[in-house]
Amino acid sequence: MFAWTQHMNFARWVILLSFLGSAVLGYFVYEQKQRLTEVEGQVELAPRLVKNLVAEAHKLESLINVAADRQDLDSIDSYITKTASAKQIEIGSVDIKPGTRAYGTAFEDEIYTIKPPSIVRKPEYQRTKIANFAYMLERGTSVRVTRLRLFPPSHYKFKPHEIGPDVWTFELEVRQRRRKVAES
């Protein structure tokens, strides 16, 4: 049955086994080449997926910040106080006078008048700090600054032709519009 193997010498056995081994290895190379092609296709998608992931992460971060601001708006007094004492604002404590005003039948405005505290003897603030305070109150929230009055501190006495230093005191009015709570 295996008569052809009787005339095989060492060199012929090496050739035969090398041929069979190369056929098996060729099959494995073909399988790995297909896998490599699949992986290269997925790698080509990676930069676009990473960009999408980064964009989604930025959206999530902004939503988390808005949610944190919304939690602060549950107590708007604490939100105003926290904003006034923020590092880049540095106004410190403020006097807050709350009030409400009806706006139609479905909405009401919560109005807050903000002034420097009355315990401060000479309240003086630069215009940039006041502007930053107003900006930070509005940033990312439903609170809107509706009135801002700047006037020189009372202890400065100016003549009409004099230009005083760039220090001011302020009165700020902010609003937050909300739906009226249905009365039962």
pLDDT digits 0-9 by tens, 16-51: 999 999 999 999 999 999 999 999 998 998 889 889
Residue 176 — very low, low, confident or very high, per pLDDT cuts 50/70/90? confident
Q: Would you say residue 71 has pLDDT above 60?
A: no
Question: Mean pLDDT lowest for which of 35-39, 56-60, 116-120?
Answer: 116-120
Q: Which residues of 101-135 are buried (b: 16+ CB within 10 A; e: fewer)?
A: eeeeeeebbbbbebebeeeeeebbbeeebbebbbe
Q: Which of 96, 64, 65, 97 has its CA nearest to residue 80?
A: 96
CA distance linking residue 16 with residue 37, whole number of Å: 32
- Is pLDDT at 52 greater than 80 in this prediction? yes
Residue 14 bridge partners (DSSP): none
As its CATH architecture, domain 76-179 has 2-Layer Sandwich (3.30)
Mean pLDDT, residues 175-182 taken together: 78
Residue carrying the six token digits 């006097």: 95
Lowest mean pLDDT among 22-31, 71-80, 92-101, 173-182: 71-80
Q: What angle do CA 54, 58, 60 make, to 5 degrees?
A: 115
Grade residue 160 by pLDDT with cuts at 50, 70 and 90: confident
Q: What integer pLDDT is reported at residue 174 of this predicted model? A: 93
CA distances, 125 to each of 90, 160, 163, 181 (Å): 9, 22, 16, 38
Pure H helices in the chain:
10-73, 76-84, 127-138
What's the pTM? Answer: 0.56
